Amino acid sequence: MKKLTIVIPAFNEEEVLPSTLQRLFKIEQNLVHDQLLDQSSDILIVDDGSKDRTWQIIADTNRQNTHIKGLKFSRNFGHQNALIAGMQEAIKTADVVVTIDADLQDDPDAIPTMIKKFTTGTDIVYGVRNNRDSDSWFKRTTAVGYYKTLNLLGVKLVQNHADFRLMSKRAVQTLLQYKERNLFIRGIIPMLGFKSDKVYYKRTPRLAGESKYPLKKMLAFAWDGISSLSIAPVRAVLLLGIFASLLGIIALVYSVTVKWLGLAIHGWSSLMISIWILGGFQMISLGVIGEYIGKLTTEAKKRPRFTIETKIG
């Protein structure tokens, strides 16, 4: 029988945590009862440097129910780091991990379906929301635009999926080989390979409390996604430089012709040509430097070159 650990990142979640834990524990116990999971299955909350009673609640709950465990960060390290820490700790003993937000905006009733897919040999099950009704107009439009942009930049993402997902032990182990500090986990998972599947659910408003992602944190996270997964912006500079230089050459031909015809104002041709050609060359140089920096970034990440799924013989 397989052991499941549900990993919950929590930052100042005193309002929702007690009911969240109760609900998730019940779902897990039902799966244990149906003999789909081992009875050692548990829940691990990562307290990401909360300033409220979050840790107190975890400690109190653990005293009554040892299946509920906690990990406390020394300060706020951010949602993505909390997820990594939780998964890293969980797979020391667990065979499968499910990550879910503390506010239960993602439907925990999707977990049994995830587990069933895992039991039939799926390594990664993405929780995918089939609506964005519970998001504000602003969040909805910016999110859709953002994911479209990422797609254009060549980043493969599962649409409408955030960090609600199931991962087998080996999938987590592979994820942990991605050593980068600049984390955008949902962008890395599709790179891992392995058999994956999706479970659809309806996203609801927060149970209580407010979003722990104010605009500033959201923007920082969005930029992390682009800059850690794509060097396309740098490439764009190079292309722009080539384009400007071409324009410069056209300007050269044009202004020399105009000069020959005696129609040009004195000094205009040389000025136009130098602006475009020099500007273009500068951008090309920046782009070339950027290409090398892009390579350095990829090297510095020390991502695994490949992942072997199975061996025979």
Interface positions with ligand UDP (CB under 6 A): 9-11, 13, 48, 76, 78-79, 82, 101-103, 105, 211-213
- Interacting partner of 13 out of Mg ion, ligand UDP, none (Cβ under 5 to 8 A depending on kind): ligand UDP
Minimum CB–partner distance for residue 70 and Mg ion (Å): 20
Taking the complex as a whole, the smallest distance from the CB of residue 213 to ligand UDP amounts, in Å, to: 4
CA 240, CA 3: separation in Å to the nearest integer?
Answer: 53
For residue 133, count CB atoms less than 10 angstroms from its CB and return exposed for 0-12, middle for 13-18, buried for 19 or more. Answer: exposed
For Mg ion, give the closer residue by CB, 14 or 103.
103
Other residues' Cβ atoms within 10 Å of the Cβ of residue 271: 11
Q: Closest distance between ligand UDP and the C-beta of residue 170, in Å?
A: 25
Q: Tell me which of 54, 105, 122, 245 binds Mg ion, using CB under 5 A.
A: 105
* Residue whose pair of structure tokens reads 């439009």 in the numeric block: 141
Tell me whether residue 42 or residue 48 sits nearer to ligand UDP (CB atom).
Answer: 48
- The interface partner of residue 158, options being ligand UDP, Mg ion, none and the CB cut-off 5 to 8 Å by kind, is none
Per the DSSP assignment, residues forming a β-bridge with 45 are 8, 70
Closer residue to Mg ion (CB): 41 or 105: 105
| Amino acid symbol at 47 | D
Q: For 256, phi and psi rounded to 5 degrees?
A: -65, -40
Nearer to Mg ion, 9 or 70 (CB): 9
Residue with tokens 């667990």: 94
Which of 34/133 has CB closer to Mg ion? Answer: 133
Establish if 163 lies at the interface with Mg ion (CB under 5 A): no
**Nearest CA among 32, 30, 186, 24 for reference residue 102:** 24
Q: Is there a contact between 28 and 115 (Cβ–Cβ < 8 Å)?
A: no
Instruction: Indicate the SS3 state at residue 127.
Output: strand
For residue 79, the minimal CB distance to ligand UDP (Å) is: 4
| Amino acid occupying residue 166 | L
Q: Footprint of Mg ion on residues 43-62 (CB under 5 A)?
A: none
Residues at the contact surface with Mg ion, assessed by CB under 5 A: 101, 103, 105
